[in-house]
């Protein structure tokens, strides 16, 4: 079984578990209307994730898509409300602005041969800064026509969100591009070995520019859906969307190092994250459990492998001088003391448990790696993952169970799902 097939199977199992667990927490969760609302709130991130699947397949990254979405939203709002252009014209120019932003990213990566991470980290700030400058950081464009707002707020047939066909169409396009075309095979070849792909006749520069242009164009389209759904265009539109989109892509089985991509996996990863965001909203208002579960889900998907953590630690013990172990333990104890000090600020007992557990485990993992890299532990040739395999899975299960208990308790006390 291929890596992509294993990722898809694991996500299907995880999605099924989420549906079963939260269906038991309330009567109205497994309803068509509720499902459509989850989809409606996920379309913008889903569009960005589909475009990023092609980018990441090449071994690249685009951190600017969220900021570019915000800039395109401001461009559309200004053109439609201040300049008085017709909505279709303003929408076309907003998509064009996104396309030009993607073209700039692609040109910097291919022509100047700059690392995609550095390029898009710079344009991440550039595009957001342009949006802030254009609005003064406070302008909020509203009052759009009802016909346009229907793109993000309307339904058709049996309550299907109007933006769902757009997500399906873009998904079908990227599925055909990545999995059923010569271009897609070239993208994976570039991600696996760029120089080998170039010698094989793949136009590496043109292919890279294509995926960044597509990423920018899709960000422009996503901005229109975002503005239509919320009815407003502000400079902070799309903040944090790039990280959610990248998480969905990696969770779906696309290799963050390039060379392997899965568009269906990206969509599965998107809906796993969407359910997490929708169902722990109440808890996230207390101490950020939403981001915590998303992080745990990503670590579980990325780091669980079919071999045991104790083998790594056995080799650790065989290669380590006892005096170095004392140094490591001293660092570990210092970290735990600091962690308990932080945990005391948690809002309740549950927050304290989570803070202490994560501080302890991740601190231990971090110091093993820091010590190895700094020479305290002479472990040449021994693989040291930042998060251990079995431990990451165990911690994920522990946090998931704790959160489920917490959500169940709150929902029964407040009747959150009963109405």
Question: Given this model, what pLDDT does residue 126 score?
Answer: 92
Res. 288: pLDDT tops 50: no
333/346: higher pLDDT: 333
CA distance 215 to 205: 16
Average pLDDT over residues 301-305: 44
Tell me, yes or no, whether 96 lies in a domain.
yes
Element (H, E) at 318: helix 309-319
Average pLDDT over residues 59-88: 95
Question: Given this model, what pLDDT does residue 32 score?
Answer: 79
Res. 46: pLDDT tops 80: yes
Question: Given this model, what pLDDT does residue 34 score?
Answer: 78
Res. 23: pLDDT tops 80: no
Average pLDDT over residues 373-378: 45
Same domain assignment for residues 36 and 142: yes
Angle between helices 204-230 and 87-110 (to 10 degrees): 150
pLDDT tens-digit readout, 106-142: 999 999 888 998 899 899 999 999 999 999 878 899 9
Eight-class DSSP state of 379:
-
Range of the domain at 69: 3-279
CA distance 99 to 377: 49
Tell me, yes or no, whether 297 lies in a domain.
no
Please give the mean pLDDT across all residues of the chain.
76
Same domain assignment for residues 7 and 46: yes
Res. 301: pLDDT tops 60: no
Asked which of 279, 294, 325 is the last residue of a domain, the reply is 279
CB 61 within 8 A of CB 116: yes
8/54: higher pLDDT: 54
Least confident residue range of 7-16, 179-188, 245-254? 7-16
Same domain assignment for residues 40 and 176: yes
CA distance 52 to 305: 25
> Euclidean distance between the first and final Cα of the chain, in Å?
44
Average pLDDT over residues 300-304: 46
Q: Percentage of the chain surpassing pLDDT 70?
A: 62
Residue count of the chain: 419
Other beta carbons within 10 angstroms of residue 243's beta carbon come to 14
Return the C-alpha torsion angle 405, 406, 412, 413, nearest 10: 150
Res. 393: pLDDT tops 50: no
Same domain assignment for residues 96 and 151: yes
> Within 13 Å and on the Cβ side, how many CA atoms surround 286?
16
Same domain assignment for residues 126 and 255: yes
Other beta carbons within 10 angstroms of residue 135's beta carbon come to 20
CA distance 319 to 316: 5
CB 37 within 8 A of CB 275: no
Res. 49: pLDDT tops 90: yes
CA distance 21 to 408: 10
Q: Percentage of the chain surpassing pLDDT 90?
A: 45
The enclosing domain of 30 has a CATH number of 1.10.3470
Tell me, yes or no, whether 206 lies in a domain.
yes
Q: Per-residue confidence at 302, pLDDT binned at 50, 70, 90? A: very low
Question: Given this model, what pLDDT does residue 386 score?
Answer: 36
Tell me, yes or no, whether 291 lies in a domain.
no
Same domain assignment for residues 320 and 210: no
163 — phi, psi (to 5°)?
A: -85, -10
Res. 373: pLDDT tops 60: no
Same domain assignment for residues 130 and 273: yes
| Count of domains for the chain | 2
Same domain assignment for residues 159 and 248: yes
CA distance 225 to 79: 16
Average pLDDT over residues 184-189: 94
Question: Given this model, what pLDDT does residue 339 score?
Answer: 52
């Amino acid at each position: 079984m291929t890596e992509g097939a294993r990722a898809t199977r694991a996500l299907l199992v995880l999605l099924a578990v989420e549906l079963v667990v939260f269906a038991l927490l309330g009567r109205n969760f497994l309803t068509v209307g509720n499902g459509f609302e989850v989809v409606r709130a996920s379309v913008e991130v889903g569009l960005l994730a589909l475009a990023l699947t092609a980018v990441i397949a090449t071994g690249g990254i685009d951190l600017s898509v969220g900021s570019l979405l915000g800039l395109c939203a401001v461009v559309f709002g200004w053109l439609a409300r201040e300049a008085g252009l017709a909505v279709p014209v303003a929408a076309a120019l907003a998509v064009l602005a996104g396309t030009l932003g993607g073209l700039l990213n692609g040109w910097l990566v291919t022509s100047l041969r700059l690392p995609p991470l550095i390029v898009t980290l710079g344009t991440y700030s550039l595009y957001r800064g342009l949006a802030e400058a254009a609005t003064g950081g406070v302008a909020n464009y509203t009052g759009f026509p009802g016909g346009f707002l229907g793109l993000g707020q309307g339904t058709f047939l049996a309550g299907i969100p109007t933006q769902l066909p757009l997500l399906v169409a873009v998904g079908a396009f990227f599925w055909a591009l990545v999995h059923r075309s010569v271009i897609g095979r070239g993208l994976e070849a570039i991600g696996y070995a760029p120089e080998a792909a170039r010698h094989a006749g793949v136009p590496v520069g043109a292919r890279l520019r294509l995926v960044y242009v597509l990423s920018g164009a899709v960000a422009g389209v996503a901005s229109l859906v975002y503005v239509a759904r919320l009815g407003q265009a502000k400079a902070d539109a799309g903040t944090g969307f790039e990280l959610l989109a990248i998480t969905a892509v990696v969770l779906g089985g696309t290799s963050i190092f390039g060379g392997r991509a899965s568009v269906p996996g990206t969509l599965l990863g998107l809906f796993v994250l969407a359910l997490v965001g929708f169902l722990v909203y109440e808890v996230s208002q207390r101490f950020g459990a939403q981001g915590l579960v998303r992080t745990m889900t990503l670590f579980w998907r990325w780091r669980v492998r079919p071999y045991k953590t104790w083998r790594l630690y056995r080799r650790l013990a065989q290669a380590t001088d006892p005096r170095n172990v004392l140094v490591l333990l001293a660092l570990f104890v210092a970290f735990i003391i600091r962690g308990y000090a932080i945990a005391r600020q948690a809002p309740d007992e549950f927050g304290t448990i989570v803070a202490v557990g994560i501080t302890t485990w991740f601190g231990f993992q971090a110091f093993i790696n820091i010590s190895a890299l700094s020479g305290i532990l002479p472990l040449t040739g021994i693989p040291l993952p930042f998060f251990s395999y079995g431990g990451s899975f165990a911690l994920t299960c522990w946090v998931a169970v704790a959160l489920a208990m917490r959500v169940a308790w709150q929902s029964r006390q407040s009747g959150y799902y009963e109405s």
